[in-house]
Chain A
Amino acid sequence: MNIHEYQAKQIFAKYGVPTPRGIVANTPKQAVANAHELGGKVWVVKAQIHAGGRGLGGGVKLARSIIEVEQLASEILGMTLVTHQTGPEGKLVEKVYIEEGADIKDELYLGIVLDRAKEMPVIMASTEGGMDIETVAHNTPEKIIKVAVDPAIGFQGFHGRELAFGLGLAKEEQGKFIKFAAALYKVYMENDAEMIEINPLIKTASGDFLALDGKMGFDDSALGRHQDIEDMRDISEEDADEREASQYGLSYISLDGEIGCMVNGAGLAMGTMDTINYMGGTPANFLDVGGKANAETVAKGFEIILKNPNVKAIFVNIFGGIVRCDRIANGILEATKLVNVHVPVIVRLDGTNAPEAAEILRNANIPNVIAATDLADGAAKAVAAAKGE
């Protein structure tokens, strides 16, 4: 789960990670009130959406007067912001963050992610603040300093010194920076974060370090013990179909092809998409119905798949293990009664009681349900059906 910049900064503030002062607004009027409350002469009006690249897309603007705050807030609120991360359809802006202007002397990068190979969080810092870190990693990897922290010992002085010297910070800057990094590590660990990124982290003329931006993602498996973070969930940022599917224990991701897929198990679901692609078709979605493929979940799966108007055929690929195939076959038949499935459905059931399942499908004799003998056969039939063959 991801959160907005303003929410990340609320968490930062709790842990003493310094940020410019700011207040979130839903209306231009509120934006003006916020600017008055913050005081000063310069404010930044920032669109609050989860995608990165907001500045380039026109979602972050500087205001030099209260009137300008109002103008910019009116412009940005309600706009559809398109960035390299939103896709061409863009994202509707419903909130703006009004932040005091900062006196930027230098821009750095600081982030924390899990290093899966080392099995520890790794802190990444760079002098190339404001740049896309993937690009920096690709073009000038030597400009990224990586320090892995073993949670068993936590953030130590030497971790901080490695980062500070790596960034070439002056002696009088080191203490403040190390304190900043230590606090950020605490934010990461105590909130079960999956990713934190501050880009840029700025050095001000007065020698302070401030998080000018803040991005956080969390380990979904740990949200059960962080109600405060769960409360920050913005469902307007999530795909409605993916969300609906998850409420029924289905894992769904929409893609841009023509063949709907319904599969048990994430690996086989990906493998099914790959096989369709290999045979010259295009998958319309990823859908893992999980270990409990029954009439209700299969019906829901059909419903969600068929919301996509591009779907020309559906491939149901189930490897029955503990759940017997004959029961799944009956579930599919029931599901076709619950949902009007108007495209060909290719069904491949393998594993426990597969012959009995084939028998059930044959006897039911539903015109648009086509039985397949194995994965390759099913994928080939689905590709042919989608092409109208």
Chain B
Amino acid sequence: MSILVNKDTKVIVQGFTGKEGSFHAEQCLAYGTKIVGGVTPNKGGDVHLGQPVFNTVKEAVDATAATVSMIFVPPAFVADAVMEAAAAGIELAVVITEGAPVRDMQAAKSFATKHGMMTIGPNCPGIITAEECKIGIMPGSIFKKGHVGLISKSGTLTYEGANQVCKEGFGITTAVGIGGDPIIGLSYKQLLQMFQEDDDTHAIVMIGEIGGDLEIQAAHYIKENITKPVVAFIAGQTAPKGKRMGHAGAIISGSAGTAAEKMAALEAAGVKVVVSPADIGKAVAEVLAK
């Protein structure tokens, strides 16, 4: 078991024949992901990486019955690509691209929600169900199959966390990089709920950062609804106010969105909060030993 994607998930790639799209689609195929085609306008009919290319998402879905789309188009075209996927009946769009304008994502997410499509990202490493399906740019070899679910705003902290969990001998069910932009698709809350309902997941790691209040919302949700142990790390305890720390959304505005307030809220919800990401693996071992 796992959440959202598994070995049977049929995936198409938007921006399939581009440099980034090609490189990562090839890696995903090598991992075992069922990539059944891709979309690049005006290249319909071609075959790329052994898979058919279509002009539109609609054609791709009709021909392949894909339910998930991995999006690699340039930032200015992200909103268009997300909305095209939603209109074509895709169930989950995984948006890897970094640098999409906030206003575009606002409109795209609103439209996607109306069409019942879930979105992961943008500006994220994607989603991986260990040893079954990788939809994104993460190094697949780190993720050994196991019983810990992982949700993270940061790419490399996803790898860091998963690596420690695996080194402690637990392994991962599914890991989701939700992205560090001000407006993102699926957030902690929905994913926590999915992990709570997934029998194979015994503990959850959530990695957050400064900016916004998604981690606070997650803390409230955990308190009321999550019975599985949760380990959390919030990046940016030493970040100065008013500075954007790499991610578009990682900024303390005025006095809101600090690591301290998020850590306090999570602790109050019974979450095991670690001060350093170096302690994620040990903390997972601790909560699972109880």
Contact = CB atoms under 8 A, between A and B. Distances in A.
Interface string A316-336: 000111100000000000000
Interface in B267-284: 275-279
Given A253-B243, A265-B155, A278-B275, A351 B250 contact: no
Nearest to B105: A119
Given A265-B155, A267-B209, A220 B248 contact: yes
A274 B100 contact: no
B212 A268 contact: no
B137 A322 contact: yes
B25 to A, nearest CB: 13
B217 A117 contact: yes
Interface stretch (B45-53, B82-90, B233-241): B233-241
B109 interface: yes
Interface in B97-118: 99-104, 106-107, 109-110
A322 to B, nearest CB: 6
A268 B154 contact: yes
Nearest to A350: B163
Contact of A270 (B102, B159, B209): B209
Nearest to A267: B154
Given A119-B106, A152-B110, A192-B102, A375 B246 contact: no
Contacts of B276: 271, 274-275, 278-279, 375-376, 379
B81 interface: no
B233 A221 contact: no
Nearest to A323: B139
A117 to B, nearest CB: 6
B10 to A, nearest CB: 24
A249 to B, nearest CB: 12
A290 B232 CA distance: 24
B198 interface: no
Contacts of B160: 268, 271, 319, 350, 375
B152 interface: yes
B238 A277 contact: yes
Contact of B101 (A219, A253, A374): A219
| Residue among B102, B210, B214, B217 with most chain A CB within 10 A | B102
A275 B160 CA distance: 13
A102 interface: no
Contact of B180 (A264, A266, A350): A266
B149 interface: no
Given A151-B107, A271-B233, A221 B255 contact: no
A351 B163 contact: yes
A265 B157 contact: yes
Contacts of B239: 270, 273, 286
A190 B163 CA distance: 44
Given A152-B107, A189-B103, A271-B276, A283 B246 contact: no
A152 B262 CA distance: 31
How would you classify the secondary structure of chain A's contact residues: helix, strand, loop or mixed? mixed
A1 to B, nearest CB: 11
B44 interface: no
Contact of A286 (B153, B211, B233, B246): B246
B86 to A, nearest CB: 14
Interface string B161-205: 001000000000000000010110000000000000000000000
A222 B236 CA distance: 25
B112 to A, nearest CB: 12
Contacts of B211: 116
B268 to A, nearest CB: 19
A267 B107 contact: no
B187 to A, nearest CB: 10
Contacts of B245: 253, 266, 269-270, 286
Given A189-B103, A376-B278, A264 B156 contact: yes
B148 interface: no
B175 to A, nearest CB: 13
A265 B156 CA distance: 6
20 contacts: A114-B182, A150-B110, A151-B107, A219-B102, A222-B101, A253-B245, A263-B156, A266-B247, A267-B246, A267-B247, A271-B235, A273-B238, A274-B277, A277-B238, A278-B275, A286-B246, A320-B139, A351-B142, A352-B141, A379-B278
Interface of A: 113-114, 116-117, 119-120, 134, 137-138, 150-152, 189, 192, 194, 219-222, 224-225, 251, 253, 255, 263-271, 273-279, 283, 286, 288, 319-322, 350-352, 374-376, 379
